[in-house]
Structure 1
Amino acid sequence: MPEQSSPSPLRQLRELSGHSAAWCAAHVGHVSLRSWNYWESGTKQGHPVRVPEEVMQTMQRLAAAVQQVLGKA
């Protein structure tokens, strides 16, 4: 059975925040859902894609805030 790769850090943060990829694309990244999905996968047509640092920082803050509100921080 093939080994599944772990989710990208961006996807982990999004899942911790409880938001959809579409919501994060529109409200955090200000990009299309397709672009957000490239960021989460780390590739676009076989080429590496970097997530902008400000997007990662915003997602870290968002995930931490949601976890704090839920009492999981």
Structure 2
Amino acid sequence: MVNGILETGSIPGLVRGVALTAAIYAVGALSTLGYTQTMVRAAQKVLHDIRRDLFAHLQTLPLSFFDPAATAN
């Protein structure tokens, strides 16, 4: 593709090739951004659920559960 454009000296063809390359790069960058954002949201949701469940469980434990160990130990 590039050799044909360079041999014929077709400037519109060169511009079209550069635009196509830029478009492919932009789509790749946007896809990466979307994937990253999706994974971050999913990970944060999992962490939130774990913390919420742990806190709910800790609230159900009797106070005597926390008494046996001294603070300094």
Using structure 1 for the length normalisation, give the TM-score. 0.28
- Which has the larger Rg? 2
Higher relative helix content: 2
Using structure 2 for the length normalisation, give the TM-score. 0.28
Q: Which has the higher contact order (CA 8 A, sep 6+)?
A: 1
Higher relative strand content: 1
